[in-house]
Chains A and B, each alone.
Chain A
Amino acid sequence: PERSARISKVRPPLHQYIRKLLFSDLDKSSIEHVLRQLRKLPWNECEPYLLKCFMKVHKGKYGQIHLIASLTAGLSRYHDEFAVAVVDEVLEEIRVGLELNDFEMQQRRLAQMRLLGELYNYEQLDSSVIFDTLYLILVFGHGTSEQDMLDPPEDFFRARLVITLLETCGHYFDRGSSKRKLDRFLIYFQRYILSKGALPLDIEFDIQDLFADLRPKMTRYSSIEEVNAVLIELEEHERSVSTDKANSEKHSDVEKPPSSSTSGSTSVN
């Protein structure tokens, strides 16, 4: 053939070493060793490349993604800026994934979802970040002219993203305010999937498993009217709670200065 042979990429030795550590050496038994080796790297030089490799979780084994999160946590003690960058980068990748909705990147996007959940499990981010991401998945691009491109009616990939994230870290939302937040989200999630129409069986089974796992007693609504009614009630309740709160704060403010004047809404003559 007339074409010249393909030239394979030659990487600097340090990059080759990082790749070897992360892509071939890393497993449950070697993680301590890998962490120590990473700490020995010349950080000023390597940090951007390391970040890049941490984002390639889709190239490794799905079941080993927690090791990358664990390494991030291990490194945060000495290189907090790196751990912050890992979290920011995963969130950006997830956002870009929603913006592009590129079919070919699906495997990668699921792996990144898994990484986000594992980063929560290793205490690298707050539950609020997880919930913001979950709601972003449900609504991104909706109500815009691009909706049919970003989340076509027959496309169930976003449901997969939600399932993947909650499979990874949902079991930690079992008490207190994060429990309430998951209860609330799961109703919105139900509305989302009901708005899609008939679910493919594989998605339906995964959703059944998810509910059985996280909220076995929760009602599965069967029509969009039903779930809408529940949500209207919920939103009304939330509104009244928040105005009550605002009112009581106002009262306590008024009470503080001992009646210096009777100013306020009545004195406007």
Chain B
Amino acid sequence: MKGPLDRTKAVVRHLPPSISQSTLMEQIDGRFAGRYDWVYFLQGKTSHKCQCYSRAYIDFKRPEDVIEFAEFFDGHVFVNEKGIQFRTIVEYAPSQRVPKQWSKKDGR
């Protein structure tokens, strides 16, 4: 089992639904470029039924970087084009699993 000291995968929640991956990564790379190995971004959606936030998973190279990242981005406020504020939440991802790099190519 992974203890708190060796968790490297973080999740960034409650991002604006319309934010793009490149906008987000620009913000992150300003300080954390080269310090992560893997990013998975999920675009949110606004419809009359629901407002689903965007979300990103980031796997850092070192556990300490997650803490610095959280200090920096947890509670960070993004403002969308309509001036609505979104306060992001940064947490350890509940599942620390990250895709294996060598994932086989499917011969089908």
Q: Give me the interface of A with B, judged by CB distance under 8 Å.
A: 36, 39-40, 43, 77-81, 83-85, 87-89, 91-92, 95, 124-129, 132-133, 136, 177
Contacts and interface: CB of A to CB of B under 8 A. Distances in A.
A80 B99 contact: yes
B31 interface: no
Given A39-B108, A40-B108, A128-B1, A80 B95 contact: no
21 contacts: A39-B106, A43-B106, A79-B103, A79-B106, A81-B103, A84-B40, A84-B95, A84-B98, A88-B93, A89-B42, A91-B94, A91-B95, A92-B13, A95-B94, A126-B95, A127-B1, A128-B2, A129-B94, A129-B95, A132-B94, A136-B94
A87 B95 contact: yes
Interface residues of B, number: 20
B82 interface: no
A126 B1 contact: yes
Contact of A78 (B55, B95, B105): B105
Interface string B89-108: 00001110111100111101
Interface of B: 1-2, 11, 13, 40, 42, 55, 57, 93-95, 97-100, 103-106, 108
A77 B104 contact: yes
Task: Give 4 nearest A-B pairs by CB, closest first.
Answer: A78-B106, A81-B99, A80-B99, A80-B103
A89 B94 CA distance: 11
Contacts of B1: 126-128, 177
Most chain B CB within a 10 A radius of its CB, from A36, A43, A80, A125? A80
Contacts of A85: 40
A88 B57 contact: yes
A150 to B, nearest CB: 16
B90 to A, nearest CB: 14
Contacts of A81: 40, 99, 103
A36 B108 CA distance: 7
B106 A87 contact: no
Contacts of A79: 103, 106
Nearest to A81: B99
Nearest to B53: A96
Nearest to B92: A132
B55 to A, nearest CB: 7
Nearest to A92: B55
Contacts of B94: 88, 91, 95, 129, 132-133, 136
